[in-house]
Homo-oligomer: A and B are copies of this chain.
Amino acid sequence: MFYHDSKLQYKVRVEKPNPAFANMLQQAIGGIEGEIRVCLQYLFQAWGSRGPQKYRDMLMETGTEEIAHIEMLATAVALNLEGAPVSLQEEMAKDKVIGAVMGGMNPRHVLSSGLAAMAVDSNGVPFNGSWVVGSGNLAADMYANVMAESTGRLLATRLWEATDDPGMKDMLAFLIARDTMHQNQWLAVLEELGGLNGVHPIPNSFPQAEENQEFNYAFVSTKINDEDGAAERMKSSRWGTGQSMDGKGEFKVVPAMPKGQKPELAPPDPRGHAQKEQMTGGASGLVDKVKEKLT
């Protein structure tokens, strides 16, 4: 269960409120690279954690920390919206700076939230639960987490570049630091799990002998008209030759080439009401076999 402290994890100051920057900050709250995503992702991974208990513990710790980051950013959004223009008339004609700000604002910050943060991204697209990845495989989840912290830190550095408010830069410098730690933290788990060789291919519990042995370490080249020598460059790349990263195969480059048939489906089931003209043609046999089985 959970407790709160009414103070913030780190101070949030805004010297020059900027409603357009408030909108940009929303990406770090409700966007796919944002804090609601990592918060729920780590917590759901913890709550579904099967296997050694220390991973559950760790995920709980960091998932809980992320709630505090949403809080900091939501506070920053509200502070950036203080004094925002709430009417189209007065300011529009007056001042080009304000005109530009208004173009960059989210109108719903005026209309829907009363100058406060919302659970949306910087296009106003609502947070979507499908982004919360917890696969039940610890290694896959760690990569999902490294990826989330990588795009998250990237976003934070871009926000840092986009503002010159010292308070905002300070807050972002804190969040950037946390993302540095979290990238390292998930990588540390991958090392504990055995590093590249021990971890891959994920899942490592599937008997690799069951996978197709011809194509599991082959770079398939789909290129036609290779006038600029790309094929050659592929062959000499790290992924085109030498031992595979997981140490379990040898990279090679092969040209794309069909190994399968031209697909043919049976004619439509009459009760599905295709056009009459579709009723002939199509593969036969399979559907008859099926019908037999059903009757």
Contacts and interface: CB of A to CB of B under 8 A. Distances in A.
A87 B4 CA distance: 35
Contacts of A184: 200-201, 217, 239, 244-246, 249, 251
A47 B262 CA distance: 11
B177 A222 contact: no
Given A7-B262, A204-B276, 12 more contacts: A4-B224, A23-B107, A27-B111, A47-B263, A86-B272, A88-B163, A92-B101, A120-B130, A139-B275, A176-B210, A184-B217, A206-B273
A84 B234 CA distance: 33
A114 B86 contact: no
Contact of A137 (B4, B104, B111, B154): B154
13 contacts: A8-B259, A9-B259, A31-B108, A54-B234, A57-B223, A112-B151, A136-B268, A137-B150, A137-B274, A147-B147, A176-B212, A183-B200, A184-B239
Contacts of A185: 219, 239
Interface string A232-243: 011001110000
A259 B101 CA distance: 31
Max chain B CB contacts within 10 Å: which of A87, A125, A136, A205?
A136
A52 to B, nearest CB: 4
Contacts of A251: 184, 188
Contacts of A204: 275-276
